[in-house]
Copies of this chain bind each other. A is one copy, B any other.
Amino acid sequence: MSKKHNFSAGPCILPQEVFEKSAAAILDFNGIGLSLLEISHRSKDFVPVMDEARAIVKRLMKLGDDYEVIYVGGGASLQFLMVPFNLMKKDNGKAAYLDTGTWAAGAIKEAKKLGTVDVVGSSKEENYSFIPKDYKVGSEYDYFHCTSNNTIYGTQMKTFPEVDTVMVCDMSSDIFSRVIDFSKFDIIYAGAQKNMGPAGVTMVVVKKSVLGKTGRDIPSYLDYSLHIAKDSMYNTPPVFPVYATLLTLQHLENNGGIEAAELRNEAKAKLLYDEIDNNPLFETFCRKEDRSLMNVSFKLTDESKKEAFDIAWKEAGINGLNGHRSLGGYRASMYNALPIESVQVLVDVMKSIN
């Protein structure tokens, strides 16, 4: 069977090299006569994998020694609660959150269990069709939390606010897709299963100076300090997901880094948005200025064309184009590893519908 055009929202397409190298490592890792799956995480063969998976993030993000990188299990959903456990003061804790979609709302829900949450901006009333921009965050807050990209609605923060407190960002769905001054942030987290690797591991970047100020007795697994102190080996890490993540980041570094990825992603997004804007049959859900380069959520303007369109993209070998169940329509997720040729196939299909 020929390779498909994979627009899946995540887990999603990764570089072919990652599939090949990680499959080979399962049969024989580094030529040691053992599978990657059967070696100790403390063995001399795996420790360098973890070390390099941490180091490469700091190189790609151009971050210094004041930051640490850890890999933990549980997904971004576990970070929704790890963030307040590590940053929300035990007594009279208060945090500011920006509500830009389902995942932002999920993070807000967990933070409320540990303290006061002020939602400083929200587009919920307009079905998350834009990114709120007119808000201030002062030093009365323990931290500010935002979500850089909203997969379901196809919106993305193009700029980040200047805030007077600790800055936290969930970058799960657009990490390493564009050039950002990562040093603006104190905590960045991302579930790997978009631009970083397969499902099963979450990366957290932590500016060490923001920790240890809550007065809480944090449960051990939830404590960033402990993971940092143990070089991200507090307990057995998700060995295979970490290895495949390292392969994915090495592929990025070897292909021009974030700068080159950004150019490729801009070209892919322009190709698809130009078609949507020029083709009266299609429209996006969100405001133009907040459109995501990663996830293009769109719909038909004429529902009678649905059957023809669905048949056509499936026949073209396209996978994963259905919209999120909460919104309907279509969603073309164009993560780093998706080639522009796949976008061209989709655009050609869109042009063919009359």
Contact = CB atoms under 8 A, between A and B. Distances in A.
Interface of A: 1-4, 6, 8-14, 18-20, 22-24, 26-28, 31-35, 37-41, 43, 72-78, 80-81, 106, 109-110, 113, 191, 193, 197-201, 217, 219-222, 234-241, 244, 319-320
Contacts of A80: 220-221
A81 B40 contact: no
A34 B241 contact: no
Most-contacted residue by chain B among A28, A193, A197 (CB, 10 A): A193
B11 A41 contact: yes
A23 B37 CA distance: 11
B220 A109 contact: yes
24 contacts: A2-B33, A4-B34, A11-B38, A11-B41, A11-B236, A20-B27, A23-B27, A34-B319, A37-B197, A37-B199, A72-B74, A73-B78, A74-B78, A75-B235, A77-B220, A77-B221, A78-B221, A80-B220, A80-B221, A198-B239, A199-B237, A199-B238, A200-B238, A200-B240
A62 to B, nearest CB: 28
Q: Give the top 4 A-B pairs by smallest Cβ distance, nearest first.
A: A73-B73, A200-B238, A1-B33, A77-B235
A318 B6 CA distance: 43
A193 B22 CA distance: 18
B23 A26 contact: yes
Given A77-B221, A81-B219, A81-B222, 8 more contacts: A9-B40, A22-B37, A43-B320, A74-B74, A78-B221, A110-B221, A198-B239, A200-B237
A8 B76 contact: no
Contacts of A31: 1
A11 B40 contact: yes
Given A219-B113, A221-B81, A26 B37 contact: no
Nearest to A317: B33
B38 A6 contact: yes
B39 A11 contact: yes
Contacts of A193: 236, 239
Given A3-B33, A41-B11, A238 B241 contact: yes
Contacts of A77: 220-221, 234-235
A41 B11 CA distance: 7
A333 to B, nearest CB: 10
Nearest to A325: B42
Contact of A12 (B38, B76, B238, B319): B38
A40 B9 CA distance: 7
Contact of A19 (B10, B37, B241, B320): B37
A235 to B, nearest CB: 4
Nearest to A219: B81
A38 B244 CA distance: 12
Contact of A221 (B37, B74, B319): B74
Nearest to A13: B38
A284 to B, nearest CB: 22
Contacts of A18: 37
A267 to B, nearest CB: 21
Contacts of A222: 81
Contacts of A43: 8, 320
Contacts of A219: 81, 110, 113
